[in-house]
Chain A
Amino acid sequence: MKRENPSPPVFADKVYTNVLNPMAQQKLEWNMIPLVERPVTLEGKTVYIINQRWGGTQAHEPLLLAMKKWLEDNIRNIHVVYKVKLGSYPVNDTDLWKEVGERADAAMIGIPH
């Protein structure tokens, strides 16, 4: 195939104006949520440890149970409740969140993949 010799494009000196924006608009405004007040200590408190289940129940259970044991061994009268949430990680387990809200003084959720 024969190639023609085109004249080189003139880019260097041209000034580009009116360049359109390809970025989509995200939501403009939403409410800031303050953190919930913390207890002074975990001694004598009920703490929930939730397994979020990414990778399956077993993927993080040994670590979360080791953390549970550490808390029980090191904090007086702490009551640690280990819970596995319902279904896979995207499932919203509203019953469990309600239970945590009613019974827990503090909580942590393990999503440590």
Chain B
Amino acid sequence: MEKQGTPAIPILSPYLVASARDSAFELGWLHPRLVALSEPNALRGEKAIQRIVNGKDAISGKPLMAAVIDALTNPLTSEEKKTGKLTHPVEPRVLPVTGTYDEIQQYFLDHKMTDGLPIVIPTEEKVKQMLTGTSHRPDDIVAEAFRMGITENGQREGRNITVEKVATIAVMAGCKPEYLPVILALASKGPPYFSSAQSFTGAAIVHGPIAIEIDMASGYGCMGPYNHANATIGRAWQLMGRCLCYAIPGITIMGDWGNNLQYNSLTFAENVDNPMIPWEPFHVEKGFDPKDSVVSIWEGRGLRQRCGYNVPDFTLKVLDNVEPEDGALVLLTPLSAKMLEEDFGFTTKEQFRQYIYENSTMTVKEWLDSDQIQTFAILHLELPAPTPEIQQAQKAIKERLSMPGDTVIKRFRSPSQINFIVAGEGMIYFVAGGDFHLKSMVAIDPWR
């Protein structure tokens, strides 16, 4: 609005002030006029609203409405009138630091370049060794932009991410050179999470021959802290958030809690070897050749587990917290998959997918209570629907809005939102499920 020539201010939560200043700086306002409430307001009651309106601006300490008037009427200072250029510092290829092991560790911590754990120090020599893991040149571009949010809204972004930059991070995470193609494939699609008030994590599941070549775990404890490749590949990916798009809590990362799964980005391999598995591997289902190595990239908040014979029913139970509009990831052990085929008659994944689609339900009231529906689905009915799929989705949403609150509806828009991965050793009938939706599948072989 200021760009249109109108004096304008944002009214913020007190917890968004630092982030708003950072975004304003990125957009060109060095001295933005901000006003902040005394406490967050979303969906609060009348009592809180009166307290806020009659309370103080959390930035200046003045009465809130006086601060609003001042921000819109006080004459500009010379600083606020200034024109010129804003800059980010040039990032040197070699850091301006030498020191002992402890001193370098402290330097990385102080400059917010780590996840808090010690790193392997990325000396030129170590990075050179790492680069033997790919045929690509060090200065090849893996991603032109690396971002956690919407750049046009002032989110930070790293630019022209090179193979050497990714290799440097792979060294820090403790990776071996043979892991580098997987890490480059992940880097080509950006960080494992985005900036949201919610606490999402990415997940990376590796499919095809490379998982065996680099000794990734797909069996016992594959999601635990035991396997070197699983642990360090996932760590390298999350460090990219820190180093390639400046993930700083309270400024660029707004997740209220963060997510412990971010430490290794839920990285593991699909189990394709166990003879009990009746179904084709996930990447083959998605059209890849069995000999292709592929990493599937997911985004969600967490997984719930159940153990017991009734795998179909327990699958529904672990998915009953998935919000509408989200996709679902169901993890099955090899034995669970075999039982679904042999004991419950789901001879194909499609049959089981259809079962979940038909039987995973919620009420219209539950659906309406979802933030996803309130923040996006309903509001996006006002926008044009450019594809038949979006037209169909909008039609379904409108129908639901006219239904009584106790009407039972399907949780998922279509069976295609439900995905299955087989992992674990297969000793028992476990099922896990959560709100992870499939973002992309990336071929690893071009990064070898």
User: Cβ of A88 and Cβ of B1 under 8 Å apart?
Assistant: no
The 10 closest A-B pairs by CB, nearest first: A24-B158, A101-B4, A56-B374, A33-B28, A11-B101, A22-B243, A113-B42, A26-B88, A18-B124, A24-B244
Are the C-beta atoms of B72 and A12 separated by less than 8 Å?
A: no
| Inter-chain contact A33/B29, CB cutoff 8 Å | yes
CB contact between B33 and one of A35, A60, A97, A112 (< 8 Å): that residue: A35
Q: Is B417 an interface residue (CB 8 A)?
A: no
Q: How far is the CB of B357 from chain A (nearest CB, A)?
A: 26
Q: Which residues of B contact A54 (CB under 8 A)?
A: 42, 375
Chain B neighbourhood of A18, CB < 8 A: 94, 123-125
Contacts of B10 in A (CB 8 A): 108-111
Query: Interface size for chain A: under 10, 10 to 19, 20 to 34, or 35 or more residues?
Result: 35 or more
Residues of chain B contacted by A26 (CB below 8 angstroms): 88, 91, 156-159, 246
Interface centre among A38, A67, A92, A98 (most CB of B within 10 A): A38
Kindly state the separation between the CA atoms of A11 and B104 in the bound complex, as whole angstroms: 11
Contacts of A30 in B (CB 8 A): 28, 85-86
Say whether B101 contacts A12, CB under 8 Å: yes
B residues with CB within 8 A of A:
1-13, 16, 27-33, 35-37, 40-44, 46, 49-50, 52-53, 65, 68-69, 72-76, 80-88, 90-95, 97-102, 104, 111, 113, 121-125, 127, 146, 150, 152-153, 156-161, 164-165, 168-169, 172, 197, 239, 243-246, 371, 374-376, 378-380, 382-383
- For the complex, give the distance between the alpha carbons of A16 and B32 in Å: 42
Smallest CB-CB separation from A24: which chain B residue? Answer: B158
- Contact indicator per residue, chain A 83-110, by CB within 8 Å of chain B (1) or not (0): 0001111111000011011001111111
Contact A88 B376 (CB under 8 A): yes
- Contact between chains at A28 and B90 (CB < 8 Å): yes
| Contact in complex: A21, B1 (CB < 8 Å) | no
